[in-house]
Amino acid sequence: MPLSTPSPFQILASSAVASSLTGTTAETVMVTVPIPARAMGLNSILRVSAVLSFPSSANLKTIRVRLGGLVGQQLSTAPYTTPTLVIFESSTASRGSSNSQYSICWGSRSTDTVLSLINSASTTVDTTVAQDLVITGALASAAEALTLQRYHVELVGST
């Protein structure tokens, strides 16, 4: 009998080293996490958790998670203005196929007491080939700032 059972969770990346974005209004990659070919099984879940901070203002700050790099398909998006701290989670599940996924995104702002569903999306990313998962930021004003305080990417039920 084995002393331990293999975990269904695989941590792909995790960091609490702050990454800041300022001086541009273009969507900009803040973190890149390589997802190996066939790492996502036919019924796997890719989960991204992040904590972000920014100055409170009326200007929009947008956080996105994409699979396939900066030009890849958008798994989730979260636009914010006035809270100064956001806890954000995106969960992408394979739909019994290597090229069909369903994602949901939820978050909580420093001004909220409950989690809110932010968006959902269906995607068709081919996970039989290596893909880059990116967390991006975009600012409505180049004078604003957005800081990714920490992130954690894990794969649940990998092959």
Extents of the domains making up the chain: 9-151
Lowest-confidence range among 58-72, 98-112, 143-157?
98-112
| Structure tokens, 143 | 């004078």
For 32-45, write each residue's pLDDT tens digit. Answer: 999 999 999 999 99
Name the pTM for this structure: 0.88
- Do 103 and 116 meet the contact criterion of CB atoms below 8 Å apart? no
Question: 48 has which bridge partners?
Answer: 90, 153
DSSP letters of 76-107? Answer: EEEEESS-SEEEEEEEEEE-SSTT-EEEEEEE
Please tell me whether residue 151 adopts helix, strand or coil conformation: strand
Predicted local distance difference test score (pLDDT) of residue 3: 58
Say whether pLDDT at 14 is over 90.
yes
